[in-house]
């Protein structure tokens, strides 16, 4: 195998597929990146069994030559060292040659690396997708869905189902839900042309969702999303992102989401976030990471007390409907929810001191966050 490739294209491809490569795997071949040279260009693949990313680098991009293949072939090279090497090569062009016994020479200007590769025949093939459902989504919408729900998943492997994000597609509407049992995030978007599609128990690992958000940019345009029996595929012209799905049945969260509340609070998202952030400076230094809200006519009083540190009290102006209420909760849950919202004002609904409460953007209903309060006495 022999080819020349622009350094920028090589670095971009290796960087993308490296997200799926694990240095801790018990399968040695999966610590590597597979590189294939063919008549259309190059193909790079990284995988850790749960996640697979494949990037195709065509011979030409925007009428500029970026790959010249002299001899076709394939090889697997150690992923971590390959990533370090290509980033630090000195020139704009790279020559790559693989000879017998998987010996590979990577050269740019006066720098020459000789690497020992692995047998590419041992590298796993791409997942086979069965019972496929597919739809199209813009990358900025996809990234918004992830940003507004993935943060709420559990990190406790004993609750494997809750480490994933639930996707449901019904009557042309995609619903994404993340929860760790203490808070919940839900986002809904309309999917054009998907009225005949239906699925309700697609559970995507939270870690895969985080990598997916970093793999595609808002400017990448539309991607095709394929849902299969045990895999999710997100792809565009040059990149394929496969992730294993979590098996099992996600809990029914509809029963936990109150449809209304006796107390309504509307206030500035920015002011509320900054005030909760300041109160958390005291709460996170104590034994209990808790802040207290006292809701009364025209204000939300936010306070936190730590026996070891001290206390803080601040008032935020708000539109308040309903009776007075005091409620305590984890400020991190509130801050993460507020940071994920794209709105100037937020609407909060409360039913009681120990009842779950919700927050949504004031102007639209497609985004919802739910937080469970904490009993303090």
| Whether residues 247 and 292 fall in one domain | no
Instruction: Encode the chain (377 residues) as per-residue pLDDT tens digits.
Output: 999 999 999 999 999 999 999 878 788 999 999 999 999 999 999 999 899 999 999 999 988 999 999 999 999 999 999 999 999 999 999 999 999 889 999 999 999 999 999 999 999 999 889 888 999 999 999 999 999 999 999 999 999 999 999 999 999 999 999 999 999 999 999 999 888 999 998 999 999 999 999 999 888 899 999 999 999 999 999 999 999 999 999 999 988 888 788 999 999 999 999 999 999 999 876 566 899 999 999 999 999 998 888 999 999 999 999 999 999 999 999 999 999 999 999 999 999 999 999 999 999 899 999 999 998 86
| Whether residues 318 and 214 fall in one domain | no
| Whether residues 207 and 278 fall in one domain | no
| Cβ partners under 8 Å of residue 101, min gap 6 | none
Residue 157: strand, helix, or coil: helix
Two structure tokens written together for 245: 């799905």
| Whether residues 112 and 206 fall in one domain | no
Two structure tokens written together for 192: 């054009």
Q: pLDDT for 168-224, tens place per residue?
A: 999 999 999 999 999 999 999 999 988 899 999 899 999 999 999 999 988 889 999
Q: Is residue 177 part of a domain?
A: yes
CB 53 within 8 A of CB 43: no
Q: pLDDT for 231-257, tens place per residue?
A: 999 999 999 999 999 999 999 998 888
| Whether residues 111 and 29 fall in one domain | yes
Residues pairing with 103 in the sheet: 116
| Whether residues 80 and 118 fall in one domain | yes
Spatial separation of the C-alpha atoms in residues 188 and 214, rounded to whole Å: 21
| Whether residues 69 and 182 fall in one domain | no
Spatial separation of the C-alpha atoms in residues 50 and 58, rounded to whole Å: 27
| Whether residues 291 and 354 fall in one domain | yes
Helices (H), 184-317: 206-215, 269-283
Structural domains of the chain, count: 3
Domain boundary residue among 196, 219, 254? 254
Two structure tokens written together for 212: 């997916």
pTM of the shown model: 0.93
Q: What DSSP assignment string belongs to 161-215?
A: GGGEEEEEEETTEEEEEEE-SSEEEEEEEE-TT-TT--EEEEEEEHHHHHHHHHH
Two structure tokens written together for 49: 């069994």
Domain range for 144: 133-254
Domain boundary residue among 102, 122, 142? 122
């Amino acid at each position: 195998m022999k080819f020349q490739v622009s350094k920028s294209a090589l670095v971009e491809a290796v960087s993308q597929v490296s997200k799926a490569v694990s240095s801790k795997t018990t399968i040695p071949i999966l610590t590597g990146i597979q590189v294939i040279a063919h008549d259309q260009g190059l193909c790079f693949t990284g995988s850790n069994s749960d996640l697979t990313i494949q990037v195709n680098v065509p011979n030409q991009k925007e009428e500029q030559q970026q790959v010249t293949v002299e001899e076709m072939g394939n090889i697997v090279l150690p992923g971590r060292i390959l990533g370090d090497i290509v980033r630090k090569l000195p020139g704009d062009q790279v020559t790559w040659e693989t000879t017998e016994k998987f010996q590979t020479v990577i050269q740019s200007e006066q720098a020459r690396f000789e690497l020992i590769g692995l047998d590419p025949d041992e590298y796993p093939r791409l997942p086979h997708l069965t019972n496929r459902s597919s739809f199209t989504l813009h990358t900025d919408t996809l990234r918004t869905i992830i940003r507004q729900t993935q943060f709420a998943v559990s990190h406790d492997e004993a609750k494997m189902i809750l480490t994933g994000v639930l996707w449901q597609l019904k009557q042309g509407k995609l619903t994404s839900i993340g929860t760790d049992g203490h808070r919940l995030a839900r986002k809904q978007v309309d999917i054009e042309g998907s009225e005949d599609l239906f699925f309700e128990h697609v559970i995507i690992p939270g870690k895969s969702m985080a990598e997916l958000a970093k793999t595609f940019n808002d400017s990448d345009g539309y991607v095709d999303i394929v849902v299969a029996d045990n895999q999710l595929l997100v792809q565009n012209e040059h990149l394929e992102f496969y992730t294993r799905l979590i098996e099992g049945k996600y809990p029914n969260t509809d029963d936990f989401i109150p449809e209304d509340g006796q107390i309504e609070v509307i206030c500035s998202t920015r002011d509320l976030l900054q005030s909760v952030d300041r109160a958390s400076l005291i709460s996170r230094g104590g034994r209990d990471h808790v802040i207290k809200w006292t809701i009364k006519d025209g204000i939300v009083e936010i306070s936190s007390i730590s026996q070891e540190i001290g206390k803080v009290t601040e008032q935020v102006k708000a539109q308040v409907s309903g009776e007075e209420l005091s409620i305590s909760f984890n400020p991190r849950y509130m801050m993460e929810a507020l940071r994920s919202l794209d709105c100037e004002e937020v609407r909060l609904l409360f039913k009681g001191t120990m009842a779950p409460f919700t927050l949504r953007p004031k102007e639209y209903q497609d985004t919802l966050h739910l937080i469970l309060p904490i009993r303090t006495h």
